[in-house]
Amino acid sequence: MTHAQNTLPVLEAKGVTVKFGGLTAVNDVSIAVPAGKIIGLIGPNGAGKSTLFSVLSGLRRPNAGQVFIGGGDVTKAAPQQRAGLGMARTFQHPELFSGLTIRDHVTLAYRIARTSRRVWTDMWTAGGFRRPSKVETERVDLIINNLNLSAIQHRPAMGLPLGLARLVELARSFAREPQFLLLDEASSGLDQTETDELVAVLKQTVATRGVSLLMVEHDVEMVLGMADYVYVLDFGILIAEGTPQEIRDNPKVRAAYLGEHIDEVPAPGPHAVGASA
């Protein structure tokens, strides 16, 4: 694959097959996520995107094929082990602690990635969170500022609108300083303004931190407007891969989407991450 020829992928799947009884949900699929790139994974409902995502994140083992992180085989590794190797992920439905503030969530994620044994002491003793170090304070401040959460950082997570909850989940993921981030329907339920803000944050993070993104998305326009490379699944089969423009021009993709007019999505502007990464 042209986008991965010169760099060892941070995440790679080779020949992944997943079966549920007599149904083949994913059939011999291979994808690669290079360092510092945004990769899209799209397809109609029931295409196998979520199943493949579960295999990549360690929630499901494939019937055949392998998953690699940085060239090492992690096919049998649990999600926690993969996290230790640089993986972070978001979920389609954000799961936050209602009793913690937005800043608490980011702080907690930062500490889990570094001193997990102390975290539980922080949470369950009467003293609450221990005093942060200067480095921790600066890092948490930076993440919160980058996601435009400064003004509400002390607000409890309970009752947050979906758009804000997704930003908190992203902030929590970034606090772990991952090598790559798996985004599961990150724009689901967001309005256009919230989606635009999310795209800006993701582009900035890739450009400034070098994090790789793998996006499983129903929002085709969003993916084709920001991804460097895109994979398309249909009925568990990889029917196309290539640059956003190649995907727009692919007749198999247009047929799979049955009138979603992928070929009419505007090309990304000169400020897309792929142009500078």
Smallest CA-to-CA distance from 153 within 138, 136, 166, 140 is with 140
Task: Name the segment(s) of the chain with CATH classification 3.40.50.300.
Answer: 2-94+179-276
CATH of 2-94+179-276, one of 3.40.50.1010, 3.40.50.300, 3.40.1180.10, 3.40.50.720: 3.40.50.300
Q: pLDDT, tens digit, for every residue of 93-109? A: 788 888 899 999 999 88
Q: Residue 268: which pLDDT band, with cuts at 50, 70 and 90?
A: very low
> Phi-psi bin for 216: left (phi > 0), alpha (psi -120 to 50), beta?
beta
Smallest CA-to-CA distance from 168 within 105, 224, 78, 217 is with 105
Lowest mean pLDDT among 61-65, 111-115, 215-219, 249-253: 111-115
Spatial separation of the C-alpha atoms in residues 166 and 181, rounded to whole Å: 14
Spatial separation of the C-alpha atoms in residues 170 and 88, rounded to whole Å: 10
Q: Residue 269: which pLDDT band, with cuts at 50, 70 and 90?
A: very low
Residue appearing with tokens 């959460």: 149
Give this prediction's pTM: 0.82
